[in-house]
Chains A and B, each alone.
Chain A
Amino acid sequence: MFDIASILFAGATGLLVIGIGGMVLSEHLYRMLLALAIAEAGANLMLVLAGFKWSASAPIITVSVESIPAMVDPVPQAMVLTAIVIGVGVQALALTMIIRIRNAYGTLNMREVKLKMEQEFADMADLPIETRSVPARNDQS
């Protein structure tokens, strides 16, 4: 039961499922961003696992050029290196969007933001607001 492969694959699968589950189930925008970061970590772990090799060394030449020992695959490692840095860029961009949304609508709940956006669009187009399944609320805006 406790072999290394199943432990690591279970970890990567668990992180991916928890992250994507958090993204699907949560309604708070900041929590969705955290879930995205966790799912990203799981995907990175799975990608590095794909290039792992038993009894191999890190892909860095330390002794001599002539006798290169068995090494793990450097290509997935380079891709994960790229993915981690891009992930931070995406997180920062999403965070600025979230800050903007909070400044504009005053809330971070996804459903409330959606309601307010629909209201805004309807106001712009001079359309009557569809009141299906929307509870009566008093907007001070």
Chain B
Amino acid sequence: MIEWLLFVIVMIMLAGALMAMLMENLLAATVAASIVSLGLTVIFVFLRAPDVAMTEAAVGAGLSSLILALGLKRLGLWKLDVPSTAVKADAQEDGKS
């Protein structure tokens, strides 16, 4: 039973890591990287390391994501996904004007 739980968590972590590397939107990539930290927290609890789990939850999943997101805002790359039709309409308007 516990094997299946760990298997699912590890798969979620690996998928989060791949998404953080491959996604176009950098804000979404940051969130995917924090999913990795969250899964790691659960695994640390299973490994009888409550101290490390607490640190990972507070520092890795919380503060690190906050720092990266604030830096993203300051870099000017903070973009939310918009539907592709809206992007096309914007591009057409830009082309006209």
Check whether chain A touches chain B (CB < 8 angstroms).
yes
Partner of B71, one of A11, A15, A84, A95: A95
User: What number of A-B contacts does a CB cutoff of 8 Å give?
Assistant: 127
Question: B48-56, B80-88, B89-97: which lies at the A interface?
Answer: B48-56
Interface pair A4/B2, CB less than 8 Å apart: yes
Interface pair B21/A95, CB less than 8 Å apart: no
Tell me which residues across on chain B come within 8 A of A3, comparing CB atoms.
Answer: 3
Interface pair A15/B74, CB less than 8 Å apart: no
Tell me which residues across on chain A come within 8 A of B36, comparing CB atoms.
Answer: 15, 37-38, 41
> CA–CA, A31 to B52, complex, Å?
26
Known: A85-B55, A108-B75. Is A49-B47 also a contact (CB below 8 A)? yes
> CA–CA, A48 to B45, complex, Å?
11
Interface pair A84/B52, CB less than 8 Å apart: yes
Tell me which residues across on chain A come within 8 A of B40, comparing CB atoms.
Answer: 41, 44-45
Known: A4-B2, A92-B67, A108-B75. Is A84-B60 also a contact (CB below 8 A)? yes
Within 8 A of A (CB), among B8-57: 10, 13-14, 17-18, 20-21, 26, 29-30, 33, 36-37, 40, 43-44, 47-52, 55-56
Partner of A31, one of B29, B43, B60: B29
A-to-B contact residues, CB < 8 Å: 2-4, 7-8, 10-11, 14-15, 18-19, 21-22, 26, 30-31, 33-35, 37-38, 41, 44-45, 48-49, 52, 56-60, 72, 77, 80-81, 84-85, 87-88, 91-92, 95-96, 98-99, 102, 108
Please provide the 3 A-B residue pairs with the shortest distance between their CB atoms, ordered closest to farther.
Answer: A11-B10, A95-B71, A22-B21
Question: Can you report 26 A-B residue pairs in the complex whose CB atoms are below 8 A from each other?
Answer: A4-B3, A7-B6, A15-B14, A26-B21, A31-B29, A34-B30, A34-B33, A37-B68, A38-B17, A38-B20, A41-B37, A41-B40, A44-B52, A44-B56, A48-B47, A48-B49, A48-B52, A58-B50, A72-B49, A80-B52, A84-B56, A84-B59, A85-B59, A88-B63, A91-B68, A95-B68
